[in-house]
């Protein structure tokens, strides 16, 4: 155990698929835990099929499973369930992402698992939670962005609700699940029993919007929220985000644009008023901003110490000197992929180098023999299970 691998020695059994649960267990693995990913036989984790295929992975499955070991197992059979019970012996955590009724039918509900492993931390990941009228409904990130109000508050100029084009509900769920389990490990030092955690996309997507939800409740906007004082504006060759947070910044922006008298006009005196009168404000400032290139506008704003950024594409972001100086990105070789893949470094842990176990994303069932032999099976017994179709080789 060390700062670089604080969870070394922990055994995690991960039945989750997709993004939220696997992203949580990936973080556990990157912090040193022994994460055994149990996938269904056949296609395996469905994230392996969602998107373009590179080697044995899609970008989604590659990112969410790096640093784990994979076993494929048929849980529809009694023999397959016996293997899972064997893997659970001595485990510290069990993660599952089935609909609430499914895991119980398989025989691995919380009470059943706790009876055998009383100190185990048990995480259930779902769309809407383990109880309530929507508990059994399947849901993915786009559905939750619509359900929790995220899309309603993220609108185009014509009012059309927009999905945020990253899987933010899933990623937030993975992060909240990771922090809950990490804190629970600390608390478990003085506990004789484990604990159950219901972490779902609905509550996570709400929690990450806490400021927006409270703001709208206390101060309902006259129209759907989302307009900042200045926002994103076209330049002569691109786009720039301008974020004058304080009233004094708004006044300074007007000075930069050569219209100091606009900064003190009554209809623009406060953020609320500027939001209510945003179209009139845009009609004044946008033609002035559009006279300049993005680089020119950014220099003017930087000289005035006003927060701004060019709207970068991903390649433009990757080429930024600040990104390179901070080691924000890492290029890791993966089996079956023609070139090293770029994966953002995880804040707070050491950067990975190609070839080390924590830098590799497993192929489906890659570690079946290795993991089962570590858990009491002989090579002959594993070969027999493979021949029966219980596990995958």
Q: What percent of the chain has pLDDT over 90?
A: 77
Q: From CA 274, how far away is CA 178, in angstroms rounded?
A: 39
Confidence band for 225, pLDDT divided at 50, 70 and 90: very low
Q: Is the pLDDT of residue 228 over 60?
A: no
Distance separating alpha carbons of residues 331 and 320, to the nearest angstrom: 16
Q: Which helix (H) or strand (E) holds 303?
A: helix 294-303
State the average pLDDT for the chain.
92
- What was the pLDDT predicted at 279? 87
pLDDT the model gives residue 107:
96
For the segment 360-372, the average pLDDT, to the nearest whole number, is 95
Confidence label for 246 from pLDDT (cuts 50, 70 and 90): confident
254-286, pLDDT tens digit by residue? 999 999 999 999 999 888 888 888 889 999 999
> Would you state the torsion angle of the CA atoms of residues 49, 54, 57, 58, taken in this order, to the nearest 10 degrees?
-50
pLDDT at 321 over 60: yes
pLDDT at 42: 85
pLDDT confidence of 307, banded at 50, 70, 90? Answer: very high
- Rounded average pLDDT over 220-241: 74
pTM: 0.91
Instruction: Give span(s): CATH 3.40.50.10540, the chain.
Output: 11-210+363-388
Q: What is the pLDDT of residue 224?
A: 46
- Do the beta carbons of residue 90 and residue 49 sit within 8 Å? no
| CA 287/CA 264 separation, integer angstroms | 19
The residue ranking higher by pLDDT, 244 or 227, is 244
Average pLDDT over residues 104-121: 96
Two tokens, residue 102? 């499914």
Nearest to 352 by CA among 4, 56, 28: 4
Q: What is the average pLDDT across 354-365?
A: 93
User: What would the mean pLDDT of 168-197 be, rounded to a whole number?
Assistant: 96
Strands 239-242 and 195-200: unpaired
* Architecture of the CATH domain 11-210+363-388: 3-Layer(aba) Sandwich (3.40)
User: Would you state the pLDDT for residue 113?
Assistant: 97
What percentage of the chain exceeds 70 in pLDDT?
97
Indicate if the pLDDT at residue 222 is higher than 60: no
Residue 4 burial (CB < 10 Å; 0-12/13-18/19+)?
exposed
Domain with CATH 3.30.1540.10 in the chain: 231-315
Pairing of strands 308-310, 11-14: unpaired
Range 231-315: architecture per CATH: 2-Layer Sandwich (3.30)
CB 373, CB 379: distance < 8 Å:
yes
pLDDT in tens, 43-99: 888 899 888 888 888 999 999 999 999 999 999 999 999 999 999 999 999 999 998
130-176 confidence digits (pLDDT tens): 999 999 998 889 999 999 999 988 887 777 888 999 999 999 999 99
**Terminal-to-terminal C-alpha distance of the chain:** 32
């Amino acid at each position: 155990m060390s700062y670089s691998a604080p969870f070394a020695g922990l055994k995690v059994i991960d039945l989750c698929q997709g993004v939220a649960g696997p992203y949580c267990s990936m973080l556990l693995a990157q912090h040193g835990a022994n994460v055994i990913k149990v996938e269904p036989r056949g296609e395996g984790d469905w994230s392996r099929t969602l998107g373009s295929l590179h080697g044995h992975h899609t970008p989604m499955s590659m990112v969410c499973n790096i640093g784990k070991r994979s076993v494929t197992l048929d849980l529809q059979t009694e023999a397959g369930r016996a293997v899972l019970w064997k893997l659970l012996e001595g485990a510290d955590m069990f993660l599952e992402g089935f609909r609430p009724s499914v895991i119980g039918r398989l025989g691995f509900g919380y009470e059943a698992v706790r009876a055998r492993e009383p100190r185990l931390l048990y995480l259930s990941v779902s769309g809407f939670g383990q109880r309530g009228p929507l508990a059994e409904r399947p849901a993915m990130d786009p559905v939750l962005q619509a359900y929790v109000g995220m899309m309603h508050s993220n609108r185009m100029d014509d009012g059309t609700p927009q999905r945020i084009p990253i899987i933010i509900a899933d990623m937030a769920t993975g992060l909240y699940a990771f922090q809950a389990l990490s804190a629970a490990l600390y608390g478990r030092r003085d506990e004789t029993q484990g604990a159950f955690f219901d972490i779902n996309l609905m509550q996570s997507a709400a929690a990450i919007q806490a400021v927006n939800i409270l703001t709208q409740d206390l101060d309902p906007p006259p129209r759907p929220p989302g307009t900042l004082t200045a926002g994103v504006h076209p330049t002569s060759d691109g786009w720039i985000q301008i974020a004058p947070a304080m009233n004094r910044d708004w006044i300074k922006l007007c000075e930069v644009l050569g219209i100091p008298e606009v900064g003190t006009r009554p209809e623009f005196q406060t953020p609320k008023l500027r939001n209510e009168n945003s179209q009139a404000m845009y009609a004044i400032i946008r033609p002035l901003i559009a006279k300049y290139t993005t680089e020119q506008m950014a220099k003017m704003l930087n000289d005035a110490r006003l927060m701004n950024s060019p709207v970068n594409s991903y390649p433009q972001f990757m080429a930024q000197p600040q990104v390179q100086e901070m080691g924000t990105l890492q290029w890791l070789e993966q089996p079956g992929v023609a070139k090293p893949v770029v994966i953002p470094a995880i804040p707070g842990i050491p950067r990975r180098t190609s070839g080390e176990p924590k830098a590799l994303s497993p192929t489906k069932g890659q570690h079946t023999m290795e993991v089962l032999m570590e858990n009491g099976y002989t090579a002959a017994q594993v070969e027999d299970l493979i021949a029966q179709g219980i596990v995958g080789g």
